[in-house]
Amino acid sequence: MSQHRQDLLREVGNFVEQLYQKGVRDVVLSPGSRVAPLALAFARHPHINTKTVSDERSAAFIALGISQQTNAPVAIACTSGTAALNYAPAIAEAYYQRTPLIVITADRPTEWIDQWDGQTIQQQNIYGKHIKKAYHMPVDLSHDDAKWYRQRIGAEAMCQALEYPKGPIQINWPLREPFYPEAGEEFIYESTPQSRREILQSEPYLDDETWEEQLLPLFQENNKILIIAGQQQRDEYTVEHLNNLNIPVLSDVISNYGNVDNAIIHQDVFLSPNTFDELKPDVIITFGMSVISKNLKLFLRKNPPKYQLHIQEAGEVPDPFQALSTIIRSTPEAFFDQMSSKEVEGDDHFLEVWKNADDKVKTNKTDFFDILSFSELEIVNHLINELPQNSVLHLANSMSVRYANFIGLQRPDVDVFANRGTSGIDGSTSTAIGHAIKSKDRTHVLLTGDLAFFYDRNAFWNNYLPDNLKVLLLNNQGGVIFRMIDGPTRQPELEEFFETEQRTNAASLAKEFDINYWGINSREEFYFSYQEFLNDSDKPSIYEVFTNKSISKNTFKAFKKEGLYSK
């Protein structure tokens, strides 16, 4: 065996073992020659699950879903050239959703960059500011210092990806030929304490002095308090602590805190910038990431609280409400535990006003759809009410996630996911498939629109389609969201250049990929066959409902008008 190949097999194998020791159990590869040593080392590792997906954009979103579902780092690896660029949308989503993707891009040796060599582009720092940190492996690994550097990069990169806030990192690895092992040549998988570098964290509870001198006086003087949950996965201990507080908890559908005792789930329906003073808070406490509700953002920007406290262990903190005054370096579980034990009292009348506004929407929702034509909002209402026990709901962007947020969800047995880091339509289906692959004991339901669905049709182009995936596709032949926005609606080019009107349906796609399919054209067909769609389990299912743009637009606006807050 040549010295070059011996060094390559040892260092690539040790690198893969490093990732395994730091929690990587799943890898999604995309095929190519330059990535061969990494692909083979991952595939031959005895404890790593390795899958291959040809479309790099879909592969990265599938890996994103796997990472979110397992709450563990997932590696993706591709060949050199534009393959790496196709990872970019999912990497940006992972960055803003704090998801630890380990992005490995195989590269040509440095001397061949910009020399018109095939599949060669500038790959170092290719993802710019949408990655926590980018690393570049040494080309030659013969010297002991280069081997130490390779080990150091692996350790630093994994610590960076997993340190709060978690996020994607890139390791760009120039690989020199020959890189295919000969018969009988094996990868070596070794690990040392140094290669598994650890970070020990301190206690997240705030000291008593901070509470007594700063926080308790603030809450005593300003007891109209709102807690706002951003996108995250629910923590049951945090739910328990929130239930001990007499404070409204505003919970978008993607926050997964709709089951808290004082949860407010319809703020996007009843709020407006001119809502009555009774709803205006003195203090808001925020935790988690983004919120969907534009009406909540506009309401708080026009009626700013005196204080906004944001709970976050580390990292930069955005200011979407233009009110950020204090950053609490703690965890939601620890902070609300202390808040409860310190017996912080909110204003009972303030809580009652918020709950009354929310209850009005819940009451009106009961009979609202009975008197109107069949619409997308009615479909989403039925979907949410009939979700199977212990299921997972995935929401594509544009109108799908907004419909679901208007309807609201309060079930503790259902988890909700959506690509709201960047809010793009490009990888919703792939992400849901990644989730379903790693959670086969639960039903995964994706609510999506036609543009998001067909944009990501390559999500089905792989060998791992899970039987527990059910797709409810709202097909209104275009982007109906632009009918909800005043500007595009007034333009004569609305249908061609904004809605992008199309006449595609999913029947051929379902046949191509051997997926169960229903095409629904009426309310009667919908209610007659919907349960069959939910119960079918022998293969993935697509339930395509053809809807009318104008009816859906008018129903959506009527629902909001019906729920607007008034005394």
Q: What integer pLDDT is reported at residue 116 of this predicted model?
A: 86
CB 127 within 8 Å of CB 96: no
- Show which of 150, 174, 198 is a domain's final residue: 174
Residue 515 DSSP label: -
418 and 524 share one domain: yes
Domain of 129, CATH number, reads 3.40.50.970
227 located within any domain: yes
Task: Please give the Cα distance from 530 to 514 (Å, whole number).
Answer: 20
Q: What integer pLDDT is reported at residue 201 of this predicted model?
A: 76
85 and 149 share one domain: yes
188 located within any domain: no
- Averages of pLDDT over each 10 residues, the chain, 567 residues: 79 95 97 94 97 97 98 97 96 98 94 84 93 95 90 95 97 88 85 76 89 96 97 97 97 97 95 81 97 93 95 94 96 97 95 95 87 92 96 96 95 97 95 97 97 96 96 85 63 61 90 97 96 91 94 87 65
401 and 286 share one domain: no
Q: What are phi and psi of 173, to 5 degrees?
A: -125, 100
- Tell me how many helices (H) and strands (E) the chain has: 22, 18
428 and 518 share one domain: yes
Cα Rg for the chain, rounded, in angstroms? Answer: 25
Task: Please give the Cα distance from 7 to 188 (Å, whole number).
Answer: 10
196 located within any domain: no
254 and 343 share one domain: yes
Closest among 190, 197, 198 to 17, alpha carbons compared: 190
Domain of 216, CATH number, reads 3.40.50.1220
Q: What integer pLDDT is reported at residue 565 of this predicted model?
A: 61
Beta strands in 283-432 (DSSP E): 283-287, 307-311, 326-328, 392-395, 415-418
- Show which of 123, 158, 174 is a domain's final residue: 174
Task: Please give the Cα distance from 337 to 235 (Å, whole number).
Answer: 12
| Domain ranges, residue 10 | 3-174
CB 545 within 8 Å of CB 380: no
pTM above 0.85, yes or no: yes
545 beta partners: 474, 520
Q: What integer pLDDT is reported at residue 466 of this predicted model?
A: 96
55 and 88 share one domain: yes
33 located within any domain: yes
Tokens (6 digits) for 207: 């000291």
- Show which of 357, 387, 422 is a domain's final residue: 357
181 located within any domain: no
Q: What is the 3-state secondary structure (H, E, C) of 426-478?
A: CCHHHHHHHHHHHCCCCCEEEEEEHHHHHHCHHHHCCCCCCCCEEEEEEECCC
Q: How many domains does the chain have?
A: 3
CB 231 within 8 Å of CB 289: yes
423 and 525 share one domain: yes
190 located within any domain: no
420 and 349 share one domain: no
364 located within any domain: no
CB 563 within 8 Å of CB 270: yes
367 located within any domain: no
Tokens (6 digits) for 368: 């609202």
Task: Please give the Cα distance from 107 to 432 (Å, whole number).
Answer: 30
Q: What are phi and psi of 84, to 5 degrees?
A: -65, -35
346 and 376 share one domain: no
96 and 21 share one domain: yes
Q: What integer pLDDT is reported at residue 112 of this predicted model?
A: 84
Closest among 293, 278, 284, 303 to 356, alpha carbons compared: 278
329 and 381 share one domain: no
168 and 256 share one domain: no
Residue 254 DSSP label: G
Read off the amino acid at residue 514.
Answer: D
- Output the CA torsion 3→44→81→111 (10° steps): -10
